[in-house]
Amino acid sequence: MLLRTIRQNTQHNKTLLMTFVALLYGITSAPAYAIEAGQYYYFISDKCEAKGPQTPEERGAATPDVMLFEVLPAGISDYYVNMNTKALINYTDEGQEYLSSLESEQAYTAGKTVNKEDSHAKDSSIIHHDFMLQREAIDLKSLIETLNGFSQLQTDKGYYFKKLVSLQDPNTRFKAITRVRLTDNGIDNRMQLTDYSSSYYPLDDKGKASDTPFISVDHNKALRSTIHDFNSPYNIYTKHSVCGEKWVP
């Protein structure tokens, strides 16, 4: 009887402790999805399925040495992403540094969906790891300065210019959102970069953001476009997304 009471009290104390820890760290009942922390390097693939040459020598010769992103643990069931902005070679140094600066404070969430076509997991699931790098209001001057650093390609600069001159009110403020999405489709040590973008939503006089962005900048596309030469047979695999493979020493 005494032993049973001790066990009950011990279990009760464990429950209280776990509840206290959950409250302390803001843990909810939402499930946690683990990521293999580390540096992820580009490799030739289609939705993280390896393509192209497979022997180590041939693969090394055909694959550019590009680190895409790094995932770091940040507390209990939380992560931090560090994008390789230096890989955005068509951006100015200021543009690269600005994007990196947005990573100082970021919010992480994750969710699971079922996708039998693209998933390699036993339960046919795909896990999206979302990192919100920026959510703030900026004025038109700040938007123009930001866009000036994002690309030096004439096609991009022309698109930005046409959008900016179409703006009716020069006092318009914008809700700036920059985000990253990494997708795990069930292949160990591989993560697909499915979103890396900045979007700017006009704010009305009450501070409410439009549902449609005024300008969106696809940093993912900018990164992908420079990995292979335009005449490379592997360029087709960077058309829609790229996959990172964790570097294992």
**50-107 per-position pLDDT tens digit:** 998 888 888 888 999 999 999 999 877 799 999 999 999 999 999 999 999 999 999 9
Write down the pTM of the prediction: 0.84
- Under the banding of pLDDT at 50, 70 and 90, the label for residue 31 is low
SS3 annotation, the chain: CHHHHHHHHHHHHHHHHHHHHHHHHCCCCCCCCCCCCEEEEECCEECCEECCCCCHHHHHHHCCCCEEEEEEECCCCCEEEEECHHHCCCCCHHHHHHHHHHHHCCEEEEEEEECCCCCCCCCCEEEEEEEEEEEEEEEHHHHHHHHHHHCCCHHHHHHHHHHHHCCCCCCCEEEEEEEEEEEECCCCCEEEEEEEEEEEEEECCCCCECCCCCEEEEHHHHHHCCCCCCCCCCHHHHCCCEEEEECCC
Give the residue-averaged pLDDT of 27-31.
Answer: 44
Give the residue-averaged pLDDT of 197-215.
Answer: 96
Greater confidence (198 vs 19) lies with: 198
Give the residue-averaged pLDDT of 156-174.
Answer: 93
- Under the banding of pLDDT at 50, 70 and 90, the label for residue 4 is very low
pLDDT more than 70, % of the chain: 87
In the chain, domain spans: 32-246
Greater confidence (20 vs 120) lies with: 120
Q: What's the confidence (pLDDT) of residue 52?
A: 85
